[in-house]
Structure 1
Amino acid sequence: MNSTAFDFLRPVALLILTPHCFDNYFVKFDFFDGPCFSATLSKCLGLGIILGSVLVKLPQIIKIYKSKSGEGISMLSVTLDLAAITIYASYSFLKQFPFSAWGDAAFLGLQTVVVAILVLHYGGSTLNAISYLVTYLFITLVLISGLTPINIMWTLQGCNIFIVVSGKLTQAYSNLKNGHTGQLSAVTLIMLFLGSLARIFTSIQETGDKIVILTYIASTLANGVLVGQLAYYWNVVPRKEKTQ
């Protein structure tokens, strides 16, 4: 490889590879370095998850918008989910974790806010939807501005395991009580399940933070419950749709 091509390749490759791994692959031609393989795989997975997260809740948003209804979607579950996402993103931002380890949370947070606003709006409460948005933006600003001490952020992140599980199981209980999954999007649920599963590996590789790792393990299990319900209630039609 000539020097011009090498000089061009290096800064691009370093977006994914560490300097050590770059030298291993492109200088020493050592393609069997285990730690480098794990680190590179983690980085690629992380970036892939971030790209996927840009659209992960779009099917859910479209489904609510088209039906003009948030039937079957628990606002408590959405709010707990949003709280967990925001706490994790804020904690990771303040801890200066690599963006590839948490960037998806930023996009998921934005989309979850949209879901909440649509559910409130189509539930007949536009004013509540606006208040919800303003309150969320204010809380997020407080969390990421540095005004919140890092020890409090650590405690909040520790609570995230409970928040994540509570949010998912609240939705699961709502599904069980209703006897269907309502306007929940199958694509969104499956993508969330796969994303949280992959995040266990990337969190181990890129953060080493036990609280974060345990949170994603809990999230994967809870998402698995919802995916299981999705399969179980697949052919069940909500009453409102039956009467139309």
Structure 2
Amino acid sequence: SVYPTRRAVSQRSAAAPVWRPLVKMRAATGEGVVPFQAARRRLGRTSPIEQPRRRAGAILKARAASENVLQVALSKAFGYSLMTGSFMLEVPQIVKIWAAKSAKGISAASRYWAVPMYSSSVVYHILEKYPFSCYGENLVILLQNFAIVGLLWYYNRTPVKEVAGVTGAFVAMTALQFQLPPGLRPALIYANIPCMLGAYVPQIVENHRAGNTGQLAILPAALKCVGCAMRVFTTLTQIGMDIALLANFILSLVLNAILVFQGWVMRENTARANAAAAVGPA
């Protein structure tokens, strides 16, 4: 037989620990000595000794592949569900401003920072050719923030110069972002960190000073907390260890959690302040 018996293998292994079995096998040019593993592959046969090990390895590989497919499928389902839910994310805020005919309590600076924060994320994902399920909700939320900024301008009677300046700066910034070379693209996400702080910190400070959250809707912040947690999972499964994206999602989770906490703690003060504001004009 071409294959050594178990007894022969054990005897040779004891005599030479680094023993590597060789067999003679006819090559194209004549007789030659080739490694035992290569000979076995050429013969298309597997030693009975190694069959269980190979079978176990194949089972583990198949199991890992099936688990990976399941994770990716679940991740995509999360991504598209987030995108679907994002259509209603800022709608409560828009409706609240529209119904009250007032943008009191809404920080304009926060919304100005929120627009480039979401637009930079959309541009980064597009340039990196990431799956749409990984960033679709950012595009939807960006459009909703456009609507909120428009309402702020309308009800606060924002000067035309400010409107033109903010709009021009945003257009120029977005055009420049699309021209970035691949090596500088991660800067789009890292730059979101100060944008995120600029979007949330003024609102948090304003809530603290006023002692209430005014017309600020807390539900979107709560939904963002859930969305950020899900985005951490989808990023790890569909994209990988993208530190910039993960840092953004975790920071956003923390900041939105602070807003939710403020809304809960200040809910009574907010109700009294809104009631007084509604009675005042009458």
TM-score by length of structure 2 reads 0.69
Deviation of 1:132 (Å): 3.7
Distance in 2 (alpha carbons) for counterparts of 1:53 and 1:130: 28
- Contact 1:193-1:224 within 8 A present in 2 as well: yes
Distance in 2 (alpha carbons) for counterparts of 1:61 and 1:148: 34
Change beyond 3 A, Cα 1:177–1:91: same
Match in the other structure for 2:207: 175
- Contact 1:87-1:153 within 8 A present in 2 as well: no
Which residue of 79, 91, 95 corresponds with 1:62? 95
Match in the other structure for 1:100: 133
Match in the other structure for 1:214: 247
Which residue of 136, 158, 163 corresponds with 2:170? 136
Change beyond 3 A, Cα 1:65–1:150: farther
Distance in 2 (alpha carbons) for counterparts of 1:77 and 1:54: 20
Higher strand share: 2
Confirm or deny that 1:47 pairs with 2:63: no
Change beyond 3 A, Cα 1:54–1:137: farther
- Contact 1:64-1:118 within 8 A present in 2 as well: yes
- Unaligned runs of at least 5 residues, structure 2: 1-61
Match in the other structure for 1:234: 267
Match in the other structure for 2:224: 192
Deviation of 1:210 (Å): 1.3
The structure whose Rg is larger is 2
Change beyond 3 A, Cα 1:137–1:54: farther
Deviation of 1:233 (Å): 1.1
Distance in 2 (alpha carbons) for counterparts of 1:173 and 1:71: 15
TM-score by length of structure 1 reads 0.79
Higher helix share: 1
What secondary structure is seen at the aligned counterpart in 2 of 1:235? helix
Distance in 1 (alpha carbons) for counterparts of 2:72 and 2:129: 18
Identity of aligned residues (%): 24
- Once superposed, what is the RMSD of the aligned Cα atoms? 2.3
What secondary structure is seen at the aligned counterpart in 1 of 2:191? helix
Which residue of 142, 147, 152 corresponds with 1:109? 142
Deviations, residues 86-111 of structure 1 (Å, cap 9, x unaligned): 11111111000000001111111111
Distance in 2 (alpha carbons) for counterparts of 1:54 and 1:150: 31
Confirm or deny that 1:121 pairs with 2:154: yes
